[in-house]
Amino acid sequence: MKIIMLGAPGAGKGTQADKIAQKYSIPHISTGDIFRKNIKEGTALGKEAKQYMDEGKLVPDELTVRILLDRVASDDCSRGYILDGFPRTIPQAEALEKKLGELDDDIDFAINVDVPDENIVNRMSGRRACPKCGATYHIKHIPPKKEGICDECGAELIIRDDDKPETVKNRLKVYHEQTQPLIEYYDKKKILRTVDGTKDAEDVFRAIADILE
């Protein structure tokens, strides 16, 4: 079972990917994690990617796909995997499809966690983080015991730059321009499945499990 997770930043696709990985015993693969691992271990692919990153350039799609295919060739992916954060664009999706096709392989499902922009802005702007110990909260869903203060270490909580409304709106703009076209792309391939991401996380997961089973 090979799955691609789609959805805007803050839609909760990472949370759902973790739940899928746990239930079906398949790895949740984030491209960011793969890059960091390859660079840390000094692999040939990692060194190649690091050259681009050190120059402030985007890692080419072809190299990203090679790093990804190297990861999914691992034994723990024999029963499938979940891709989170890749592909982000149509060219990336086409590059991935081409390489998987050469291996006589393909993606089974593209799961779109659908959440309106307004909900995402409200959801993310409610996040709070502890700059000292890294604990995270939400003023509505996971509030600290004392407003503005970390339960763990007593430090004053902050709003991360990534969670500020203006930043979130900009990230959503980029998503709609670059990544949202993937929804139509996978719909045409008859593998797109959309779930209502505004519901409780457990309800969203049940909807996904129904699709997969």
**Tell me: the pLDDT tens digits for 132-179?**
998 999 998 899 999 999 999 999 999 988 888 888 899 899 899 988
Let me know if 160 is a catalytic residue.
yes
CATH of the domain at 180: 3.40.50.300
Q: Which residues pair with 114 in a beta bridge?
A: 196
Residue 80 is assigned to a structural domain of this protein: yes
In whole angstroms, give the CA distance from residue 46 to residue 16: 28
In whole angstroms, give the CA distance from residue 194 to residue 192: 7
- Domain residue limits at 6: 2-27+74-115+174-212
- So what's the pLDDT on residue 54? 85
pTM for the full predicted model: 0.83
Beta strand pairing call for 136-138 and 109-114: unpaired
Beta strand pairing call for 28-30 and 127-129: unpaired
In whole angstroms, give the CA distance from residue 137 to residue 182: 31
- Give me the sign of the Cα torsion angle 160, 163, 166, 170: positive
Residue 157 is assigned to a structural domain of this protein: no
Given 171, 193, 199, 206, which residue is catalytic? 171
DSSP string, 45-84: HHHHHHHHHHTTPPPPHHHHHHHHHHHHTSGGGTT-EEEE
Burial class (CB in 10 A: 0-12, 13-18, 19+), 104: exposed
Residue 124 is assigned to a structural domain of this protein: no
Q: Are 198 and 116 in contact (CB under 8 A)?
A: yes
Helix H or strand E segment including 29: strand 28-30
- Quote the longest CA-to-CA distance of the chain: 56
Given 19, 71, 123, 127, which residue is catalytic? 127
How many residues in total does the chain contain? 213
pLDDT along the chain (213 residues), means of 10: 93 92 94 87 91 84 89 90 92 91 92 95 90 91 93 94 88 90 95 96 96 93
Residue 125 is assigned to a structural domain of this protein: no
Given 23, 98, 160, 169, which residue is catalytic? 160
Cis peptide bond prior to 87, omega within 30° of 0: yes
Let me know if 123 is a catalytic residue.
no
Quote the number of domains for the chain.
1
Given 2, 13, 19, 128, which residue is catalytic? 13
